[in-house]
Amino acid sequence: MKTVIMAGGQGTRISSVAKDIPKPMIKIEGVPVLEREIECLKNQGFNDIIITVSHLGNIIMDYFGDGTGISPVTGKPFGVHIEYYFEKEPLGNAGALFKIKDKLTSDFLLLNADAIFDVDFNRFVNFHQRHGGLVTLFTHPNSHPYDSGLIIADKSGAVEKWIAKEDERPQYYRNCVNAGLHVIAPKVLELANIDADSIGKMGENGKPVKVDLDRQLLKPLAGTGMMFCYASPEYVKDMGTPERYYSVCADYKEGRVSGKNLKNKQKAIFLDRDGTINRYVGFLRNIDDFELIDGVAAAIRKINEVGYLAIVVTNQPVVARGEVSFEELEEIHNKMETILGKEGAYLDAVYYCPHHPHKGYEGERSELKINCDCRKPNPGMLLKAAEDFNIDLAQSWMIGDSESDVKAGINAGCKTVLLNNKDEDYGQTITVDSLSKFVANYI
């Protein structure tokens, strides 16, 4: 599969770090960002690369050549085949695709050269091929969803709505952010109905014709069933500002960038919801009753920063009892993610059990009145998360305020935390009275 890397940005926001080289050549721990990207691709078998360049592009071309040479930094072969397309005039962030479309005869990876990433691309591509769409977007939660492009998808991953930064967004939303990595079928270029010869020439408005990837090619596919999102907690971060650049440097130094690749075993902190994240009000049926416990957002932000996955696993029998619909439950979780996002914290995944074994409630949903493997103290939700994200359960924690939380963690093989200030022993590893105190003292 070919990989197209867009490396033509001028990097004006990060010019204080390096203004005499193109942004993709800025070094992270002594190695240019673009070289790290190419190394990640090569190690996974993606060695046929086209790089689009413009601003100071000769520096990139001189450094990498056709990919058969030796790295001046590492002394190792690049080990790839590289072609270039040089934009003499700015074509927008997708205009070059139309200039090289004759080379794009099958599905291809499209990546941004100004993002730091270390992801399992084969896993990403396999998802794309299984779902059979024209486009698969790599999505993830981040610490600033309130000013990021958001993707709304159904349970199968089909993109229903694309919310750009300038679009009005709903009051509550899932923290599902477009990360700028894509698998794209060439047919997308045909569907856009754009004349390649006109790109770069003067348009009717007196300005050169440019093509915007998100707004002209991808956003129109939302709701068509032809575009899917691949949700992953792997490391992808825009280094477009000095602050983000220095943050990435710190993450590289601590091993958090490569460590988040799903080829590697992950560590997770599994969190009960009611009484752990939000104030306990009994069966939470009304979204207005959802309120974060003081200090929880800061605690989850610390979990994010040190490299654990933050995963909610919650029993929600109110669905089986007919008191809350699936849609209402999802909106409650959207509120949780929105509030956390405003505090710079995020959840990597939310799993819930909608079942309840006891019958006899007015309005109950009989199909959900079953004994299941996912209802805590059974470990089903934790085991499913471990399968989805390659989690080492023995190095992970289950945190909750009840016996069923502790037992679910023990049954899954996790270390366990009981949030309580009473002398109760369910076999938990430790007892503390808040998530904040656990985070402050144990991770």
Of 114, 118, 251, 272, which one is the catalytic site residue?
272
Strands 115-118 and 159-163: unpaired
| 274 a catalytic residue | yes
d(CA 359, CA 299): 38
Q: In Å, what is the CA distance from 354 to each residue of 73, 402, 404, 421?
A: 54, 18, 15, 29
Are the CB atoms for 296 and 440 separated by under 8 Å? no
- End-to-end CA separation in angstroms for the chain: 41
Strands 177-184 and 108-112: antiparallel
Strands 108-112 and 2-7: parallel
Neighbours of 356 (CB within 10 A): 23
Q: In Å, what is the CA distance from 313 to each residue of 141, 324, 368?
A: 17, 17, 18
Are the CB atoms for 69 and 77 separated by under 8 Å? yes
Are the CB atoms for 198 and 209 separated by under 8 Å? yes
Partner residues linked to 28 by β-bridges: 31
d(CA 49, CA 109): 9
d(CA 31, CA 72): 10
Phi-psi region of 132 (alpha: psi -120 to 50; beta: other; left: phi over 0): left
Neighbours of 150 (CB within 10 A): 21
d(CA 133, CA 115): 24
Q: What is the DSSP letter of 77?
A: B
d(CA 411, CA 105): 50
| 154 a catalytic residue | no
Of 274, 348, 401, 405, which one is the catalytic site residue?
274
Please state the φ and ψ torsions of residue 303, each to the nearest 5 degrees.
Answer: -60, -45
Catalytic residue numbers read: 272, 274
